Chain A
Amino acid sequence: MTTGTETPAPAGRGGWLREHSEIGVGALLLLLGVLVLTDALTMDVDITQRGPVGPKTVPVVVGVALLLVAVLLAVDVLRGGRGEAEGGEDIDLSEPSDWRTVLLLAGVFLGNAVLIGPLGFPVSGALLFWGSAYALGSRHYDRDPLIAAGLSLVTFFVFNNLLGVPLPGGPLMEVL
């Protein structure tokens, strides 16, 4: 998956944080490491453990390794290292990240996760498909909702009725 496309020339705008955004990944690793170690060290294993290796061992190793890699990554980033960005058919790496689209799309995904229970898949799926199309730039208000609804219904019937993967039908399917 990771491709060898050349990294785009770092743009001057945005400044230090933009150049060193991977420090954030280091921070995440640090946080994870602390979390894993705390969980491992507060674990009460007196009853379960027989011998030197127990349920604590692997978490402690992983936690320490996380802290280590967090520091190494931070050092690497500060010394000018940069991760390869993944290229692709529809990806234009010369443009800065488009946060509006990302947030819209993430919102649509989260909305689907919240709504799939109460509304059922056919409705939440239609919203998901239309919302994604909208977030990615399609503005056909007459056509997109219809396609989304059709796609959602077809998916529901294929999975629920043909393949036997139960999906929440929601109130709509109770009516039908």
Chain B
Amino acid sequence: MDSLNSLLDGFGTALTPINLLWAATGVLLGTAIGVLPGIGPAMAVALLLPVTYGLEPTGAFIMFAGIYYGAMFGGSTTSILLNTPGESAAVVAAIEGNPMAKAGRGAQALAAAAIGHFAGGMIGTILLVALAPTVASLAVDIAPDYFAIMVLAFIAVTSVLGSSRIRGAASLLIGLTIGLVGLDQMTGQQRLTFGSLQLADGIDVVIVAVGLFAIGEALWVAAHLRRTAAEPIPVGRPWLGRADLRRTWKSWLRGPVIGFPFGAIPAGGAEIPTFLSYVTEKRLSKHKEQFGKGAIEGVAGPESAASASAAGTLVSMLTLGLPTTPSPPSCWPPSSSTASSRDRSSSSANPTWCGA
């Protein structure tokens, strides 16, 4: 059981006190930032990108995972308490979570979401470790056909960007144009530098990520700022009762089964599995009449699916270098590229498609 060993090895690395500290810091920061209105996981990671500069790659990666999961949970918190999902994956949490909060069961909804994220993250990670070696050996076999992978990546990118293919292709091409700026890697020919020495270095992915997720998002929010304040709701009794547990434990376990495969396939994302999980929970529930009015399964299942799909996206991200969602996993290459800029020898071995 080679992958089992590497799983235990991975837990061993992650469980060292210093790495646990980075993970805890990441989750704390991610939740704190994710709870802020208008900031989803993608923007939280973009904002906190520089925080990991001082860390070695493993620590940085651990912290990023913490920030991402934390921000996802932070996003569901606002979904549940304010009925204002910060990102599309948290929409489902608002459908059931907000009615629960209005009925004074906000704490139970939050707990169901938190434990759901934990279950989804754990099961997703275990599946990731089990599957990654297989996918990675496949990846090694097709290594000469980088071109095919790049085409797949481009198609994946255009289809995750929304319902319109033309608009997806347009943003892809703008990105490719930004990527063209600088020296041609094979010949050293200057492209689109207009004689500027600064542009000859190319445009760093971090700059693009911050511009897109932080500056762009800030200006977009500014243009459409909601001028009326949202209504906060009291949290209520902070315990998850035995009846609630009996209703939710199956949902927590079912979520990852739906979420993980969707995260792993290109263009999967977290939106579809959360909705699928919601529909599944509704069909299987003994309390169908409660759905839409605050059914706890409707929070637990989708939240667990969301976390597991995040782990699923890491399968293709870590083994093929393909970001399959537009949000953070595509921002993780910057962390590895900052790591590789310190260690030039590895940068050629690990091409990151974000900067292709």
**Interface positions of A (Cβ within 8 A of B):** 1-4, 25, 29, 32, 35-36, 39-40, 43, 45, 48-49, 54-55, 58-59, 62, 65-66, 69-70, 72-73, 76, 81, 83-84, 86, 88-93, 95, 97-99, 101-102, 104-106, 109, 132, 135-137, 159, 162-165
Contact = CB atoms under 8 A, between A and B. Distances in A.
A97 B169 CA distance: 25
16 contacts: A2-B160, A2-B162, A4-B88, A29-B173, A45-B187, A48-B187, A55-B184, A58-B176, A73-B166, A73-B170, A81-B166, A83-B164, A89-B85, A98-B223, A106-B219, A132-B218
Nearest to A66: B173
Nearest to A89: B84
B87 A3 contact: yes
Contact of B54 (A72, A137, A162): A162
A90 B38 contact: yes
B227 interface: yes
B88 A93 contact: no
Interface of B: 37-38, 40, 42, 50-51, 53-54, 78, 82, 84-88, 91, 160-164, 166-167, 169-170, 173-174, 176-177, 180, 184, 186-189, 191-192, 213, 215, 218-227, 230, 271, 326-327
Given A97-B224, A137-B227, 8 more contacts: A59-B192, A69-B170, A69-B173, A89-B85, A98-B224, A106-B219, A163-B50, A164-B53
Contacts of A25: 170
Contact of B219 (A39, A62, A102, A137): A102
Contact of A69 (B51, B169, B186, B227): B169
A16 B237 CA distance: 54
Contacts of A43: 189, 191
A62 B170 contact: no
A2 to B, nearest CB: 4
Contacts of B180: 36, 58-59, 62
Given A91-B221, A97-B223, A84 B163 contact: yes
Tell me which of A2, A3, A81 has the highest count of chain B C-beta atoms within 10 A of its own C-beta.
A2
A33 to B, nearest CB: 8
The 5 closest A-B pairs by CB, nearest first: A163-B54, A55-B189, A89-B84, A55-B184, A48-B187
Contact of A102 (B162, B187, B223): B223
B85 A81 contact: no
Contacts of B215: 109
Contact of A55 (B187, B219, B224): B187
